[in-house]
Amino acid sequence: MPLPSPVEMYGRCDRCGSVILDPRFFLSPDQERSRYLQHENSLSDPGYRAYLEAFLDGVFGHEALAEDGIATVFDYGSGPEPALVDLLRQRGFTASGWDPFFNADGERFDAGADLVTCLEVAEHFHNPTDDFASLAGCVRPNGWVAVATRAVNGDLSTVVRDFPDWWYRRDPTHVVFYTREGLFFAAEHAGLIYRGQCGPHTYLFRRE
């Protein structure tokens, strides 16, 4: 039996054009966890540290956050090694993190964090509607959420031509690729309103 082509493994949302992997091709939880353990995401890696620093510089450089005293930060999907949490603490913030595979009991702030970071995590969401609702539940009312993920072009011909060879698609744990409209819709459904970009692939939302 021939293997399905990359395009045949995915569907597109009729409403927003986002591209979603057919659940039949999702990794098992054990396979997904094993894949994450292969990542080398440590602050001892100068390149990865620079990547995290650039993300935080972009987020905290946004004028809306600069005017809204941020003290507590919660990292949603902190991974095997909570490097972003450690870096936030080094910057003087009260920070904690949660991860379904590596820190499922991660302590959340009782009143919700001032800021929730979601760095290269939203593309792993198996159910974006439920997962964005969970994400929104970690931030206080009028607090902020910074989501970093790489969006796809909504034009179908572009997706068909470019998507199969896109490096971002080739990670088997990446299962949803949002258009900007799709990302904003999923966030808004959870009560998060888009307030601007704070980096090439980072989108800032505020909880109603």
Give the pLDDT score at 154: 65
Q: Where are the domains of the chain?
A: 17-207
Distance (Å, rounded) from C-alpha 130 to C-alpha 186?
9
Write down the pTM of the prediction. 0.93
Q: Which is nearest to 189 in space by CA: 125, 121, 129, 122?
A: 129
Give the pLDDT score at 18: 92
Per residue of the chain (208 residues), give pLDDT as tens. 344 566 678 988 888 889 999 999 999 999 999 999 988 788 999 999 999 999 999 999 998 887 788 999 999 999 999 999 999 999 999 999 999 999 999 889 999 999 999 999 999 999 999 999 999 999 999 999 999 999 987 666 666 678 888 899 999 999 999 999 999 999 999 999 999 999 889 999 999 8
Handedness of CA 142, 125, 165, 47 (dihedral sign): positive
Secondary-structure class of domain 17-207 per CATH: alpha beta
